[in-house]
Structure 1
């Protein structure tokens, strides 16, 4: 048996023996359900596990209190793993076959973000065990990247240089099926915050002031008319959220704020929409005599495929095997499908492996995801592991209900094994890394260099003035409270 085979056997056996390390972390983060940029205790749980297993941990990196970087080993190659752990506001769901939020405003996990960091940390600890036992060369870096749902964490980490000097990145995400990302990766994403300023005055004499909310509303009306003028080739979409419209109704608001997020297959599409948004804001402010300012708080680059690394990651997934879901969970899924009238889905879970596919034509820009920031700094592969009902277009509750159940445990355990097995191959196969590096250089040359997109003076939206509403509410709730909350 070769040294690589022995190391592969070690990580697989260790993860089987210590299965609860990843699943208990997943359950703990599910219980905490902390939304993006507020994931304090979730990040602490991951960091404590890494520190207890020999990793050095740096917290609060890139200006984000819940971001971290953990390292083990020295020298090359340096393989990076990725943690996400943010819940989505308003998406909590109990494990029952009908809509049942924990509370109407509680955060929850529609796509198993509670398990992403848990599986990566379990994989990192298993690889550390193999490195120590078999004397494997190199080092492991684990990135804690907050607020993936806002695509905030990784762009700031990239801008501040934390992704420089890596030899490869092995990421993962749940999907209805198990495969590896190939050509058709996530599109580009940008989030912009518009603040309008007016003159507050008593509401019974509105002509004596300027309503910032009216200016914001007018901007939004203009944006609705602009949507049909976005060229279809960009596959672009625009969404908005009014995050502040004033403090009380008896006076004209002198401040109003909205978040606009837009997606596109290309940065050209992002730039087109950004220019249109700014024209709308300028026109609305001019028409009503208001002022406005614009801040870009998230901006991602497009996906750069790396087939060499993807093939290695698929070998890791094949060695791990597809997840197998317990019969009671299949029965629960059948009840969900019966309620939704989806008799076309049988069996409810995908327990097979799907070989990576080449590019297909999309009708939309793809999901928002800042994982693409890694692939401009190093060869990047992303493993997909089956989770939830094997169908798209289901309501969020129908997928979210499995995030705290044995379905999640099976997905997390499979992902941890696939990541660990892939990482061991990369640590022990310099020829694979060399091939991936050559492809990486070729892809960057073909696409044209694209440095991180955020300005050097842009700060993450973590203070009350720039944060989304749920973060502001979280910050206010924390004022005067003890930071330690009983488990």
Structure 2
């Protein structure tokens, strides 16, 4: 099959990326080195805000009330038409407990502990790839007088599916004509390509807070015995018992929450446990967060009905009060074939990413360090080939029930209900399994995320495909017409249509930034990693 030639604006965008590659590689190193966790990405978001303003974007910092979010817009007016509004975004949150130096041996980053955050997917390269693509499109639009608006969002806390449902609920995605979502490859069956029908699933998360506010009312004090001392009385179970009972009983009840079909997960995190010394005092305060991935909204609702009921009973058992608050609620992903086809066609024009001998030697050193024989070709074959949409879709369908249309989770799905959206995947460095079939430890994958030779081919290829697709949308009205017609058909008439799903969070939702999420804190002892 012949590949269509590049347009003149697309050639300009690719030339811009080639000439800017070294600088953009250094930019990635900057974000990778910040390695800030969810809702605490202060330096990372500020870096993007400053750069976007320097590039001529108008930037709203702290959009939708989220301190580390932003909304940036740049408009090029040419001729009489306003042109389309095309959106994309950067993510930049890292994951606690994944600190790793960019070297083929296990070690946390200098000046940190192994408990500090590190980029796993990596969002550092996700953000730079998208950012570079939008800068290249902007350059070409200016050079060739192309009308249109670029909307570029800063989306914190993706690991909690945090910001995009909030931006959506607050109306920030209203008025978009199309959106491009890029992610480093997560599925070896889809290394370089696009989602087709099977898209990401809903992700819901809620936090439960237990408080033992009046432990002295647990029992009648006259039964405390003949010694008149408060410590001699039976104390209220309190908040530690509450969170332990909530954790264990909800674990035991997992198989009673949902049918044994479809792929769903329920995970827990305990940010606060007790807030009391090991004395004969009832612990006063505890919290537990539940996060769920499930194929349908109804399955999410069913599981949280059980969790709500468990929390109420646990609170009664432990002499606590309980309150709950949503951390996030996403919708399921909505596909768009027209935009997926246009994006994949551009991927075909530039080809799959390729890795240098230096990148391969980094991988081999990691293999040797782990006691494996170094391979001449250490990376999986799919990294350097395109994955046609039909091939990827068939791979997904082979492992899922026929009724299940959504799998895994990512909060990009909230874009898909406000504008035609494509989900682009580009291969990240991934090692072939050794002959024994043993799995590599995660630290080696994370180390390659910070090595320019290993990670630059991924984000730079994403930038090429993104910039070219933006320019197609700006210059070929037929692509956007087809994408928007499909969007209206899938939603039953567009936003507000008969099959449209509105944001699941209220329009006045306050992002959950005030909880004790893991972060670096400054103390008289110096800078420390803290989970309070």
Shift of 1:458: 3.1
In structure 2, what is the Cα distance between the partners aligned to 1:383 and 1:45?
24
Change (3 A) 1:88 1:203: farther
Residue 480 of structure 2 is aligned to residue 440 of structure 1: no
Alignment match, 1:224: 251
Q: Normalising by the residue count of structure 2, what TM-score does the alignment of the two structures yield?
A: 0.83
Residue 252 of structure 2 is aligned to residue 261 of structure 1: no
Alignment match, 1:428: 475
Shift of 1:305: 0.6
Residue 303 of structure 2 is aligned to residue 273 of structure 1: yes
In structure 2, what is the Cα distance between the partners aligned to 1:332 and 1:454?
45
Q: Secondary structure of the residue that 2:387 maps to in structure 1?
A: coil
Which one of the candidate residues 413, 421, 427 is aligned to 1:386?
A: 427
Alignment match, 1:352: 385
Alignment match, 2:225: none
Gaps of 5+ in 1: 483-487
Confirm or deny: 8 A CA contact 2:296 2:332 kept in the other structure.
yes
Alignment match, 2:274: 246
In structure 2, what is the Cα distance between the partners aligned to 1:203 and 1:249?
16
RMSD: 2.7
Q: Equivalent residues in 2 for 1:162-173 (5 A)?
A: 162-173=172-183
Alignment match, 1:233: 261
Shift of 1:478: 8.8
Alignment match, 1:372: 413
In structure 1, what is the Cα distance between the partners aligned to 2:464 and 2:102?
26
Aligned length: 474
Point out the more displaced range, 314-323 or 442-451: 442-451
In structure 2, what is the Cα distance between the partners aligned to 1:311 and 1:106?
40
Point out the more displaced range, 309-318 or 330-339: 330-339
Q: Secondary structure of the residue that 1:354 maps to in structure 2?
A: coil
In structure 1, what is the Cα distance between the partners aligned to 2:384 and 2:321?
56
In structure 1, what is the Cα distance between the partners aligned to 2:327 and 2:230?
33
In structure 2, what is the Cα distance between the partners aligned to 1:23 and 1:200?
57
Point out the more displaced range, 162-171 or 333-342: 333-342
Change (3 A) 1:249 1:203: farther
Q: Secondary structure of the residue that 1:382 maps to in structure 2?
A: strand
Change (3 A) 1:396 1:372: same
Point out the more displaced range, 436-445 or 209-218: 209-218
Shift of 1:55: 1.1
Point out the more displaced range, 97-106 or 128-137: 97-106
Which one of the candidate residues 430, 434, 454 is aligned to 2:505?
A: 454
Residue 201 of structure 2 is aligned to residue 187 of structure 1: yes
Q: Normalising by the residue count of structure 1, what TM-score does the alignment of the two structures yield?
A: 0.91
For the pair shown, which has the larger CA radius of gyration, 1 or 2? 2
Change (3 A) 1:457 1:345: farther
Confirm or deny: 8 A CA contact 2:126 2:459 kept in the other structure.
yes
Change (3 A) 1:26 1:221: same
Confirm or deny: 8 A CA contact 2:92 2:123 kept in the other structure.
yes
Point out the more displaced range, 401-410 or 59-68: 401-410
Alignment match, 1:404: 450
In structure 1, what is the Cα distance between the partners aligned to 2:120 and 2:30?
16
Q: Please give the per-residue CA displacement for 1:169-216, whole angstroms capped at 9, x wherever unaligned.
A: 011011152111222222110110000111457995572434012122
Which one of the candidate residues 122, 131, 140 is aligned to 2:132?
A: 122
Which one of the candidate residues 173, 194, 211 is aligned to 1:197?
A: 211
Shift of 1:395: 3.3
Point out the more displaced range, 316-325 or 440-449: 440-449
Gaps of 5+ in 2: 217-228, 434-438, 528-532
Which one of the candidate residues 338, 342, 345 is aligned to 1:308?
A: 338
In structure 2, what is the Cα distance between the partners aligned to 1:296 and 1:286?
22
Q: Please give the per-residue CA displacement for 1:234-274, whole angstroms capped at 9, x wherever unaligned.
A: 42211111111122222321111011111101111111111
In structure 1, what is the Cα distance between the partners aligned to 2:34 and 2:261?
41
Change (3 A) 1:461 1:96: same
In structure 2, what is the Cα distance between the partners aligned to 1:16 and 1:403?
21
